[in-house]
């Protein structure tokens, strides 16, 4: 070993020791444990798939999970096929397709209200540890559901219950109320290069 690499190694070690001290101090400060509201928003891909990643984590720990999909009407997705096998996971496909497919505001509102009734039951069930409200933001931005009612029912959920909301255009009020908010930023998407939705990646 040359003197130069020995010096490099020592500097790296010292830097990592300082970093570890900072990280350990941060971890020591974070001691609370409570049910969280997480919002995954933005135009980039990864909102629903991130939510389903948390579903896998929760089920792996033996927690009980409820998933509500508010827009999708298809019941042939890989995530539903996989997670429905787990008796600790309740999976509800509550949509009737995108608003530009249905083109019917009154029908969309009725669908949204029926869907929210299912979500409400989960949000009132203390034995449900994680509730995923996939694509909920659209029901709020199109005014199919009353935002204040939804927010107050989210707020009134059992202590310790985690909720993940996904969808583009999360409102300021929802972001304000959430504990963790992530915006997926669209840098590139294969769709724009002519690639269709593929199993395992998009559905």
45 sits near ligand ATP (criterion: CB under 6 A): yes
Element (H, E) at 131: strand 130-134
Binding to Mg ion by CB under 5 A, coded x per residue (else -) over 23-62, reads ------------------------xx--------------
142 sits near ligand ATP (criterion: CB under 6 A): no
Q: What is the spatial distance between Cα 123 and Cα 185, in angstroms, rounded to a whole number?
A: 29
Q: Which residue has the tokens 């508010």?
A: 70
Which segment (17-25, 40-48, 114-122, 170-178) binds ligand ATP by CB under 6 A?
Answer: 40-48
Of 63 and 184, nearer to ligand ATP (C-beta) is 184
State the binding partner of 43 from ligand ATP, Mg ion, none, CB within 5 to 8 A by kind.
ligand ATP
Q: What is the spatial distance between Cα 180 and Cα 158, in angstroms, rounded to a whole number?
A: 18
* Residue 115: partners with Cβ closer than 8 Å, 6 or more residues away: 68, 70, 92, 94, 95, 139
CB of 5 to Mg ion, least distance (A): 48
Of 22 and 197, nearer to ligand ATP (C-beta) is 197
Tell me the residue nearest to Mg ion as measured from the CB: 48
- How large is the C-alpha radius of gyration of the chain? 21
Of 105 and 189, nearer to ligand ATP (C-beta) is 189
Binding to ligand ATP by CB under 6 A, coded x per residue (else -) over 74-113, reads ----------------------------------------
Contacts 24+ apart (CB under 8 A), 45-50: 45/184, 45/186, 45/189, 46/184, 47/166, 47/167, 47/168, 47/184, 48/79, 48/134, 48/135, 48/166, 50/166, 50/182, 50/184
Contact by Cβ (8 Å): 67, 193: no
CB of 58 to ligand ATP, least distance (A): 17
CA 26, chain centre distance (Å): 25
State the binding partner of 202 from Mg ion, ligand ATP, none, CB within 5 to 8 A by kind.
ligand ATP
Footprint of ligand ATP (CB under 6 A): 43-49, 166, 184, 186, 189, 191, 197, 202
């Amino acid at each position: 070993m040359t003197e130069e690499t020995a010096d490099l190694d020592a500097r790296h070690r010292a830097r990592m020791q300082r970093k570890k001290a900072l990280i350990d101090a941060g971890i020591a400060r974070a001691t609370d444990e409570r049910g969280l509201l997480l919002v995954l928003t933005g135009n980039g891909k990864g909102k629903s798939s991130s939510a389903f990643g948390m579903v896998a984590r929760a089920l792996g720990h033996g927690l009980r999970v409820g998933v509500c999909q508010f827009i999708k009407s298809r019941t042939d997705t890989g995530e539903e096929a996989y997670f429905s096998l787990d008796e600790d996971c309740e999976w509800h496909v509550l949509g009737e397709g995108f608003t530009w497919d249905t083109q019917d505001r009154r029908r969309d509102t009725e669908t949204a209200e029926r869907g929210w009734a299912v979500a409400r039951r989960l949000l009132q069930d203390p034995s449900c540890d994680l509730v995923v409200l996939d694509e909920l933001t659209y029901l709020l931005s199109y005014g199919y559901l009353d935002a204040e009612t939804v927010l107050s029912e989210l707020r009134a959920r059992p202590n310790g219950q985690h909720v993940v909301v996904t969808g583009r255009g999360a409102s300021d009020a929802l972001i304000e109320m959430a504990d963790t908010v992530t915006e997926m930023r669209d840098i590139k998407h294969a769709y724009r290069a002519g690639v269709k939705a593929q199993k395992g990646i998009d559905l």
